[in-house]
């Protein structure tokens, strides 16, 4: 897993400034395939690793409605996120636009779902290509309105009751909501061309969370399979020569594994495995930049790669440069 324990700089005054910084906040020492940006800079820390060939082609737009700051992000390629909310008593609402798919801690989130993330937890996300995500914080409400402040406090108390602390053998909890009316209303509120007076985001959220339609996250078997597979790939990326080896390690047929990836992530397990392997190799090159006694082939061998020629070819296709170019830039 990626290490996201180091928070971003706290000199960002507003989400708008955070967005401007995010487009140029690239961490060369971790490789060109890794970017780090903050959605809500006061308390949220997000980074993603590119999973598809080529550069990440995401579009991030800040939105505002009823005193709420929100973020819209559209990904043209698949990518993996790790998200942590740093400060206590904070909650993030998020939902997926129509035709999009998000894979959150082992559960497929579609346009029919709304998810709520809580503080002091780490969440794994995999975003399918051409997916638009919306996210906002219920704590960024305009407190000058007394009624909105009351609604906000009621909503936070409801979330605290529903989002229980996880046990040591369970995944981090999040709340999943399945009411289309809230999703549709939020999308309309973020549409500047809408002229009708929208209902309050917080009134709708409070009504929804206090209804019987809210349920705690429960993974299904297929999504558990995908999460288990991705974690296995990350833990031992070069231990597998073929996808059939991955399927065997996960105790599932290769056809079943490929179908699960295609249905949920619109991609193949082979694409994801190759991306993880190449990212790992690049990280190893950077980490050994000062150890010139190790050749690039030696570094690949230490990782478990058996075909250095093929690895170099895939590396050039993925990063648009040879491994030697990566090392040379670090000298």
CATH code for position 321: 1.10.10.60
One domain, residues 47 and 169: yes
One domain, residues 268 and 157: no
One domain, residues 210 and 93: yes
| Residue 4 resides in a domain | no
Q: Of the residues 155, 190, 219, which one is the last residue of a structural domain?
A: 219
| Residue 143 resides in a domain | yes
Residues in CB range of 72: below 8 A, 6 or more apart: 60, 61, 62, 63, 132, 133, 134, 190
CA distance 174 to 169: 15
CA distance 105 to 109: 10
One domain, residues 149 and 252: no
| Residue 22 resides in a domain | yes
> Model confidence over 43-92: pLDDT tens digits?
344 444 444 433 333 455 555 554 555 566 666 666 666 666 655 556 77
Q: Give the pair of three-digit tokens for residue 17.
A: 């400034």
Q: Of the residues 185, 219, 253, which one is the last residue of a structural domain?
A: 219
Question: Concatenated DSSP letters for 53-97?
Answer: SS---EEEEEEEETTEEEEEEEESS-EEEEEEE-SSS-EEEEEE-
Q: What is the pLDDT of residue 95?
A: 76
Which runs of consecutive H residues, i.e. helices, occur in the chain? Answer: 15-22, 146-162, 180-189, 201-209, 221-235, 243-249, 254-265, 269-287, 296-303, 308-319, 323-330
Q: What is the pLDDT of residue 79?
A: 64
| Residue 47 resides in a domain | yes
Residue range(s) defining the domain that contains residue 304: 222-330
Q: What is the pLDDT of residue 176?
A: 72
One domain, residues 227 and 203: no
Beta strands in 3-57 (DSSP E): 34-37, 44-50
Q: What is the pLDDT of residue 59?
A: 53
| Residue 7 resides in a domain | no
One domain, residues 267 and 320: yes
This prediction has a pTM of: 0.52
| Residue 6 resides in a domain | no
How many CB atoms are located within 10 Å of the residue 308 CB? 18
Residue ranges in the chain whose pLDDT is less than 50: 1-58, 66, 165-172, 192-199, 217-218
One domain, residues 215 and 263: no
> Model confidence over 111-156: pLDDT tens digits?
777 787 776 666 777 777 777 777 776 665 555 555 566 666 666 6
102 has which bridge partners? 109, 127
| Residue 9 resides in a domain | no
One domain, residues 87 and 173: yes
One domain, residues 88 and 139: yes
Task: Quote the mean pLDDT of the chain.
Answer: 65
C-alpha distance across the termini of the chain, in Å: 27
One domain, residues 175 and 240: no
Nearest-CA neighbor of 129 among 186, 63, 53, 190? 53
Q: Of the residues 219, 243, 274, which one is the last residue of a structural domain?
A: 219
Nearest-CA neighbor of 132 among 38, 59, 51? 59
| Residue 241 resides in a domain | yes
One domain, residues 111 and 251: no
Q: Give the pair of three-digit tokens for residue 31.
A: 């490789």
Domain count, the chain: 2
One domain, residues 183 and 255: no
């Amino acid at each position: 897993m990626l290490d996201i324990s180091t928070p971003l700089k706290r000199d960002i005054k507003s989400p708008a400034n955070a967005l401007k910084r995010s487009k140029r906040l690239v961490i060369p020492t971790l490789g060109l395939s890794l970017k780090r940006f903050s959605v809500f800079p006061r308390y949220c820390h997000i980074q993603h690793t590119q999973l598809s060939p080529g550069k990440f082609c995401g579009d991030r737009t800040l939105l505002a409605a009823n005193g709420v700051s929100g973020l819209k992000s559209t990904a043209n390629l698949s990518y993996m996120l790790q998200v942590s909310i740093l400060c206590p008593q904070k909650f993030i609402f998020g939902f997926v636009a129509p035709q999009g798919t998000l894979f959150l801690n082992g559960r497929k989130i579609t346009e029919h779902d709304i998810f709520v993330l809580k503080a002091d937890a780490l969440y794994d996300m995999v975003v399918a290509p051409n997916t638009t995500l919306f996210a906002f914080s219920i704590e960024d409400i305009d407190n000058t309105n007394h009624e909105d402040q009351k609604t906000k406090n009621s909503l936070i108390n409801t979330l605290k009751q529903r989002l229980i602390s996880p046990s040591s053998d369970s995944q981090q909890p999040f709340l999943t909501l399945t009411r289309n009316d809230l999703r549709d209303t939020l999308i309309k509120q973020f549409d500047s061309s809408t002229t009708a007076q929208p209902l309050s985001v917080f009134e709708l959220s409070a009504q929804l969370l206090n209804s019987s339609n809210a349920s705690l996250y429960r993974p299904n078997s297929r999504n558990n399979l995908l999460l288990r597979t991705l974690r296995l790939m990350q833990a031992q990326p070069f231990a597998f020569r073929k996808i059939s080896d991955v399927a065997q390690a996960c105790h599932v047929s290769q056809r079943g594994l490929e179908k699960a990836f295609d249905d949920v992530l619109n991609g193949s397990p082979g694409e994801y495995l190759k991306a993880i392997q190449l990212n790992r190799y690049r990280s190893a090159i950077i980490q050994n930049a000062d150890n010139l006694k190790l050749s690039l082939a030696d570094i690949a061998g230490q990782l478990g790669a058996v075909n250095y020629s093929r690895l170099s070819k895939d590396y050039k296709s993925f990063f648009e440069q040879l491994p030697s170019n990566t090392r040379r830039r670090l000298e």
